[in-house]
Every structure is written in structure tokens, then in C-alpha cells.
Structure 1
Amino acid sequence: MPSAADALFQGNLLLKTLRAEDRALLAPHLERVTHQRGEILFAAGSEVTTIAFPCGQTVATLIIAMRDGRSAETATIGREGAVGGVVSHGYLPASTQAVVQIGGPILRMDAGRFQEAKRRSESLRNLFTRYGDCLLAQVLQSVACNALHPIEARCLRWLLTLQDRIASETLPVTQELLAAMLGVQRTYLTRILRTLQQQGLIEVGRGRITIRDRAKVEAAACECHGVVRHHYETVLGAGYDRRGHLVRVEPPHEAASAERIPQRESA
């Protein structure tokens, strides 16, 4: 039966895969808190003083906001990852705003203590460098997707990404939120969702969108969702099955990963 300290790590994939000695470095400094939808973990320009590990169905989104009030999502992070300066040293200003999109438990830790733990453990440094690479891949793929793919494909990509992280066909997302994430007007998105619903891909309800056929949605979406998922599986050794359930695949050998992915000081 797992100890109380081990149970602390079960809700987040990165923490769950840590070695016992690395867990011992982090466990005394992790605090479990509950965040509600809409709460801001950090704002653009502010110092990132805390590392946040979403647990269970909790989902946070990194958002870029423009002066005219418009915004767009750059990365969606759930139980597979962490939010904050995971590979940087010290307190650095945030380039984005991190907002809780689906509320729930989060394990948080002071960024300074986290950096000290990484300094003491090569395996911890390697794991979070690999995770930083995966997060960067998600952001870069999102940039290309937003520039090159039609709104219908982008919409389906975002819904698949969210389903991966909460493992449910019914997604607690409003049309207002989805429009904000995609950087489009609500009225325009409503027409897009109506078309996708008529195609039998989704069902739109009040405050929720249901994916009716995951395989068909994946086929209709652009390749970006699959590319990012494959990168996570290859580099980090973690991914989701077709039902959106979190799985652990055979991780790459740490020494080989360290050679393939150079250590970076900031991300």
C-alpha cells in the first residue's frame, strides 16, 4: 500500500514517474491546493515564483493577451505536465498568463526550492529538460497550426487536446471560452460548431461540448494534435490512448535523451 508521501505524487504524471530519491527532494515542499476556473496562476510580466503541477482533471492554459482585448491559447497543460519555470533558474518574468480552465487540485512548490532540488539531482534535471522540450514543441506547433490551418481543424485540435487531459467525452467548455482560446469572435465560432455538429463530430450543449466519435474527430482535425502527442511519447515517454486515458509508455534511456536534447537554462 503506498505511503502518504507516495500518494501525493499519483495525480500528476511527471511527479508519479519520479524516482524515490527525487520524490524525497520534492515531497517536503509540495503543497496541495484547489483552484477554481478562471483563477490566474501568474500574469504576463509578473515573476513566476511557484511551480504548479495540475492533478486529476485540472487544466491550465497559457494565454497571450493583446492590447485590444483579444487573446489566444498557446498551450494547454493538465496532469501530464507543470506550469511555471520548469527549466529556468530563479524567478523570471512570465511571457504569458496562466489561467485555470478546469478547476481542481494542484500541487505547488516554491520555484527556488524546485531549482535547488534540480541542482542536487541529475535525473530530475533531465526529466524537466525533456518536459520543457515537449512544452516548447506544443507551443511551436500551435503557432504553425494557427497560421496554416482552417478554424474547423484548429477547433477540433483544441477539443482533442482538452479531452486528452480530462479523459471524458463531455468537455465542460463554453462557447465563449473556446472562442477566446481560438482567438475568434463568438458568433463566428457558433457557425463553426453548428457545422461540426451537423457532420456528426460533436454535440453542443449548454456549457459543454461532447465529442461523439473520437476517431472521426481525429481524422477531421489537422495533424498538429497527433504530432504533439507523438513528440511527448518519444521524448518524455508519456502519452494518452485513444479514449484520452493517461498512459505510461517505455521511457527513452536517460543518457540517450540527455545527448539528444541539450540542457537549456530557460524556457
Structure 2
Amino acid sequence: MDNLWLRQLPSGDRARLSRAAELRPFARGEVLCEAGESADAVWLPLEGVVGLAVVLDDGRTVDSALIGREGLVGVTCGPMNGRAASRAVARADGAAACIPAAAFGEALERSVRLREALARFTEGLFAQVQQTAACNAQHSLEARLARRILELQDRVEADRLELAQHDLATMLGVRRSGVSEAAALIERRGLIRRGRGWVAVADRKGLEGLACGCYAMLRRVEGELGFAA
């Protein structure tokens, strides 16, 4: 298990953060940080996927970003302003190196390189949030679903994803029946296979062709910033 953002830090910063970290597993559906609440830790995923979910006033949610072992969760709440802007919820089982917010904040104050690395990640995260907003407004559900499956596969690093239709509907902020119809269309094209509680990528190139251009654009941005999953 490894966190790619942590790996690219100078050895002194890695050691400082590693000393403060505690290994914590998380399960699909587990809330790591609730919107509006104080956050007491920064999570650096070693495996698994975490979604940043925007919570609407009627209780519905839609994910604005996905984070795997290429990044970290909690930087927009813990050491920065103390409150979480969104709900951080596990979208795939995994584990993280969990660092107290105070210790992470102290490390930031001591290291210019650490602040630069955090700024690069935050730039990429902001790009993902912006692109997701535009994508949700302009692109078909079929294309958005293809994009989301690809993004999950990139972070899980496996062809089979343990996901129910309810999970995908929650991430995309749509009805489960809509996801069912879109997934059936994609499956008929031979791009995915489905079973009860799982989805498997059968033709990645075909799925990339079906996905909207947001997927390729974000992969390019993440690669340029040096933290692609």
C-alpha cells in the first residue's frame, strides 16, 4: 500500500508526516468527514476510493470529486479552516494513513515544499470539481456513467468494481432507474459486464470512447500536475 502524493514529497517531509500517521481502514459507504463539521484529521488513501459529496437541502447528494491514493482528503477543512465543505464518503473499501489535523498543519508551516505539493493537489482537485459541475449540466447520463466507471477503475486498479446501482446513482446525483437504463445500454455495447453488486470493465478503450471529453481532459491535467492515479 502506498500514497502517491506522500511518495513525491522530500524525505524529511515524508518522515515527519509518517511519524504522525495512523493506519485506518474504511469500508464502502463509511463517512470519513461530514459536511459542516469540524475535521480532526487528514486522510491519505493507500487503497480504495473516497468521494467528496455535496449534500443538498433535501438530503440528496452528488459527488463533486473522487480521490484515491493519488491524493488526500481533509485538506480543505482540517488545517485550513476547520470545517468540511463536503461529505467525504468511501466509495470503495480501503485504508488510509490518517494524520491529526494539528500535526499536518504544523508540518505545512515548517515546509515550503509541502505547501507547494499541497497547492498542486488543490489545483487538480479544483479542476475536477469545476469539470464535474459542467459535465453534470451538459453531458448525457450514459457518457457521465462511463466517465465515472473509468475514474473508479483508475483508483481501484482492478477491472471489477464492487458497486451497486444505488452507489452509482448516489455518486451521479440521479435516480437509480436512470443508472439502470444507462448501464444496460453500455452493457449491450459490450463495454461493461454487470452482476448483483458489481460492475466489470470489459472494453476499456470502448468505454473511453463513450465517455465525455471531461475524462481525458482531467487525466491530462492530473498528469501535468504529477498526481494521476
Say yes or no: TM over 0.5.
Answer: yes
- Runs of 5+ consecutive residues of structure 1 not aligned to the other structure: 1-9, 241-267
Alignment partner, residue 252 of structure 1:
none
Query: Could you tell me how far apart the structure 2 residues matched to 1:109 and 1:115 are?
Result: 10
- Runs of 5+ consecutive residues of structure 2 not aligned to the other structure: none
Q: Work out whether 1:213 is the aligned partner of 2:203.
A: yes
The one-letter amino acid paired with 2:63 is: E
Q: 1:234 aligns with which of 196, 212, 224?
A: 224
Query: Could you tell me how far apart the structure 2 residues matched to 1:113 and 1:86 are?
Result: 15
Query: Could you tell me how far apart the structure 2 residues matched to 1:126 and 1:87 are?
Result: 18
After the TM superposition, which residues 1-267 of structure 1 pair with which residues of structure 2 at under 5 Å, given as runs?
11-56=2-47, 58-85=48-75, 89-235=79-225, 237-240=226-229
- Show CA shifts across 1:3-27 (max 9, x none): xxxxxxx511011122111112212
Q: Secondary structure at the match of 2:16?
A: helix
The one-letter amino acid paired with 2:34 is: A
- Show CA shifts across 1:60-104 (max 9, x none): 111112222321111111111000025974452111100111122
User: What's the offset of the Cα at 1:220?
Assistant: 0.8
Percent identity, aligned pairs only, is: 37
Q: Secondary structure at the match of 1:239?
A: coil
- Show CA shifts across 1:183-242 (max 9, x none): 11111211111111111111111111111111110011101111111111112x2325xx
| TM-score normalised according to structure 1 size | 0.82
The 1:87/1:134 distance shift into structure 2, 3 A limit, reads farther
Whether the 8 Å CA contact 1:91–1:112 is kept in 2: the answer is no
Structure with bigger helix share is 2
| TM-score normalised according to structure 2 size | 0.95
Give the count of matched residue pairs: 229
Whether the 8 Å CA contact 1:87–1:128 is kept in 2: the answer is no
More off after superposition, 210-219 vs 62-71: 62-71
Query: Could you tell me how far apart the structure 2 residues matched to 1:186 and 1:90 are?
Result: 36
Give the root-mean-square deviation of aligned CA atoms: 1.5
